[in-house]
Structure 1
Amino acid sequence: MALQLRRANFFLFLFLFLHARSVWAKVEVRMPENVEVYLGDSAEIPCQYNFTESNGVPRFLMIQWFVKDNGSSSRFRIYYAHNDDKIVDEGTEYSGRIQVTLDQHGTRLTVHEVQLSDEREFICQVNGLSDGLTERKSHLRVFAPPEAPVIMGVQAGISVTNEMPSKVATCEARNSFPKANITWYRNNTPLVPSVGRVNVWTGDTVEASGLYSVHSTLEYRVLKEDKEANFSCEVSFFVPGAIRTVESSSVGVTVHYPATMVELWRESPEGLIKEGDTVELRCQGDGNPSPTFIFSRAREPDPDEDLDSRGNVLMLQAVSRKDGGLYRCRPRDGTSYNEVKGEMELNVHYLDPAVVVPKESEAMMKGEDLTATCNALSSLKTSTVWYKDGKTVGEGNTLHLQDATYEMTGEYVCKVTVAALPALHTSGSVHIVVQGGPQLVGEEQEVHLEEAVGRTVNLSCEARGHPAPSVTWTFDSSQSWQEVFSKSSDHMTQSVVSVVVGSDINAVCNASNDLGTDVRAFSIKAVPLVTSSAPFSPAEGSGVIIVVIILCLLLLAILGSVLYFLHKKGKIPCGRSGKQDISKEKTAKDDIVVEMKNNGNVKSEGTVLLKAVNGDENGTKKQ
């Protein structure tokens, strides 16, 4: 409390002292009334001072800068300097944004990155204690030129039958400070508002940044000769030390008589429309002169979406499903907009790419079941067919593979078609791989063969499996063999070996992969030759049989001769009935026919002997 009291007494003493000194001392301070600067630039506010009653700068000199608070008459300090002490006040909006320079003639305050809120009074106070105290102020003015004006003409036509001015165009100048002004022109002639002829509506908006956006609407009662007129707007605005103007581009108006009937139809293509087609829509009305049209698509409940068209034709290139909907056309005539329009519904059909599950490739074990699906989203009814190697293997969206075999390995293709629109079709595929241990083709586990000595025998092994099995051969003893054929694919391996039969042979074919093995045994019995001097051959074996048959025939001939001799000697009764019995018995039991194919001479001889034995009745008659 005592310290505060001493400070208060000090400042009271200082005030009385300065007041007394002001009688004989004086300081002059000069500052410009206004300092103008662009938004974002740096502003320099000079403050020049002069002590008239002293020589030079007094020993005690205090410089303070103050800023007037916007919206009130109060002010706050932003800078203080006393001899060597130079302090920028903390906690203000200018902390870190100002810079002050001092010399013997004055001080200069620099404000960096000027903001809109900087448009206010800046006060410079010079205090020399006994040499005087004075302050002056400068008003900092901030300017921001607007963006280029944007003019938008009315797209719909304007009828000459309108009795009141119609909206012709709008003009907007955005982001200026202070507010800009807008002036309308017709063919470079200023338009002055007049009742029943020209109306101008101007307003402004304060943006979040504090800048102004000015917009103006021109209403004009058009005449027939206005169809060739050009309308534009001019924006004028302040800048440091000047006033500038910028003119917009020009827009025209469409002047026509209103139409009473409008028709909209699809010119091409015919029939159903699919994605990718080019659709041509035409609009026709009875306006005079023939009106142009605005094509739009309904966006209920939002406003219609205007589309880019040419005259009375709307071309929709490579349409997609999102292009479907209600289309409208209306004349460019404001009075007819809500009354006369043409409408039509456009339907765009589609078929999405086929989605196959499982994707791309799927491995399954032999004997397992698998279900694959193929779906394609479409606006029309679809049909699905599954193919493998060009052959139909299923119909419908689902393909069931049961008890998988190696033959099921391969690519399965599903084709989705639309019967009502054949041009819509898509396909997908999945590659099925059936995995499993080797399986040798054929059911025999052991193969037994008989072959003549010296013959060459080919042994074959074909194994199926995935991964493709490898085939190896094993022969007993020291048999000489070689592989003469080999073929392998993703799930099949075939091997053929050649071996010369010299003795009994035992061979094993072994098929194996990472999932298992399968074996098959071959047993070859070597058949020896009939004579030791020559190798056995089928032709000579047949000759041995023929020799045996000839010996039998000779024995039969001898037996026949003995019987005939006994008959002549009367040892055998020769009654008719007995003779007939013997004859019948021999006919039934001894009627033998033998055909020898390999030796023609032996055949003839054997046949003669048989006839002699079996036909003794004829022989007796010949006696």
Structure 2
Amino acid sequence: MCSCLIGLVLVFSVSCPASAEVTVNTEDRVEVLRGQMAQITCNFVSDEGIGGMTIEWFYVTRQGEKKKIYSQDSSMRSVESRTQFTDRISVNGTGATGIVVLTINNVQVEDEVEFICLVKSLTEGTGEGRTNLKVFEIPNFPTIEGVQTGISVLQDSPSKIGTCEVKNGYPKPQIIWYKNNTPLLPILDEITIVPSITMESSGLFSVRSELRMKVVKENKDDEFYCEVNFPAPGGETRMMETERINITVYYPSTAVKMWVESPKGKIKEGDSVELHCQDNGNPPSSLIAIKHIQDMVMLHKVRRQDGGLYECISTDTDSFKEVSGNMTLSINYLEPAVVEPKGVAFVVQGEELKAMCNALSSLSTHTAWLKDGLQISTGHILTLKDATFDTAGTYDCVVSANEIQDMQTNGTLVVQVLGPPQIIDKNNVELEKRVDETVDLSCSARAFPTPNFIWTTSDGRNLETKSEEIDGVFRSSVQFPVNSDVTVFCNVSNEYGVAAVTFNIKTPKHTTTPATTTTTTTTTTTIHSTTGKNHKGNGVVIAVIIVCILLLAILGSVLYFLYKKGKICGRSGKQDLTKETNKDNIVVEMKSDNTEEAVLLGVNGEKQPLSD
């Protein structure tokens, strides 16, 4: 009996399987930018095969109505017609893996609804998952527009400052006003913020905000701008800022300012001065006058007399209230330089000269002395010690006021050094010239006062001279033909002394060498004269040479005679003279200037050949 009961229970357990259900999982939220593609994944778990399973997709309208847009089973797939998603959806997956994906293309704002994934099983029942689709649109860059007219501080109620606007955003953007980086909040009777929201035909939002504020004078330098905040995918909030604007604030003047517009810096005589005057009101008064000792002045090429107090008066055109300001105008000057001694200063050579240069000025001055463009001294006193002719020249005194560019004055001093002549360029005083050749001589000297040049020669002649002066150097020159050796003297003198230079001029000499033959018994002198012109000086020289040769011949004869007698070196008369004839011969060589001919004569009168 018991065994039969147990068998029945086992059969029931097999024939009556336990109940089961379909489990469906979907994302709670999917975010996407407008115009992009959205994908919603549906995961489900079921023990039943795909053959007995149906998958359907629905969406819930904003009125709460549930509408089917898609269905599929093992034998068919179907997209519902005449819905807002008909042409833009597709489903991936057969469900065999437990996953299907709904894809929505070109998402729009109106697609922001709740989607339902419904899975039906023949034996396990039904399961569903719900997903909210969130759509976002980045708005256009915000704009700001300030009022174009001025705002008076005398207005009793808040005045319009400007308007900010941001277009085509989703969800709705938010506008916040800022002043100098500080957010503005509404304040009764002082700050008013008026927003307005527009929904475009596309479903996007455009937001506009107007700021009104009661202004004060200090607002003239304030900067106003708007910040736009808007949500974006991923749960973040993004921000954009407009450009910054200023407003024009009208307020009455309380003071007047005066200044020199040009020239910049210190003013000197001769400048053209541009004075400006402005009150601190906005807008500035149209009735402004500049007065100087109660008179209007045109400040062109000012003089020092134009300096003094200047006043500017501003008159309010509404109340005719006057506000004034003033300034003191200083005109700087530099008078012409005065040099002492004036004109030309004279100093004796070796002595000292002092000169002074001054210029009256309203500013501190600097004095420099220049010669030939080079600075040689600073200070208003110039001291020239141990004067030489190099000291002479023109000295420029430059007085400048360094505080003002190009403000300077000049003075001139000419220095003359008194002294005796000094010869310069003593070269080429030894000259050689041919007879009848013209010679040019010059003599240069430095001196003051102007020296006198006198040219003389060693034979007592006075030569005609030409003189010139260049840069303090006096030069005299002469020109004459040369006939013979001569000495020329250049004498330079003035009241302080004398100097001289001597020129020695030589003419070349043409001489002949006589040939003389001397023996113990006779003396023969042969002279071959050169062809051409004989001069008196050459004849004297030739005569002297002949006399010398004769004396040598006589001396040779005497020596030879004593030798023969044995009176020299202990020799006796018995010695053989013949053997020594060649050794003791006295030979005289005579040459002609023209033929270069030479003759050798022995003591016995025979010609001998010329040997090396």
Q: Specify the TM-score bucket, using the shorter chain as the normaliser.
A: 0.3 to 0.5
Q: Name the TM-score, length of structure 2 as normaliser.
A: 0.38
Q: Rg bigger for which structure?
A: 2
Q: Name the TM-score, length of structure 1 as normaliser.
A: 0.37
Higher helix share: 1
